[in-house]
Chain A
């Protein structure tokens, strides 16, 4: 089974802090994604990566950056956390080798509260 893990289930940070959210997948997937989930808005894509050191902006990249130094690990960085970044953050991965519409596999999520 594909396993996607996230470094924290819950985080509380102060406004202005630098925040790192980490995601690791164990299935050698090429693609990794970061979403934020807010009530009524569903999931919105922040960034995705299709290879090591490669990244593309999603729908809402402002205020975020990402890093992918190794294939299995994809980090989301909030350079200076703000209260409007309080949200649930979900990581996902998928394989381009899988001829199945590239199903995405999700991590358990990190609930971030910025005070």
Chain B
């Protein structure tokens, strides 16, 4: 199983600013994924990050708002840009070693935008 850490664990930000969330895996994983969980809701996939290529975004999410980097097989970042209160959510990253394997999740970053 993979152990995934995220930084920061929580943050309170002002509208119009940006926040970069880091995700570190203790072993190499092929795919990493970023999810958003709005208050009281389920998890929604933002994008899939494959090393060495641009991230693939789900419908409703765009690169200008959520730029993602994946510089190697154990690390990824998600930036939430030009934040508004509607971006207040928990952001979670996950990874697996193969597309059919069990996915493990980081502890999440709890973001509040004022």
B is bound to A = no
Residues on B close to A: CB < 8 A?
none
Residues on A close to B: CB < 8 A?
none
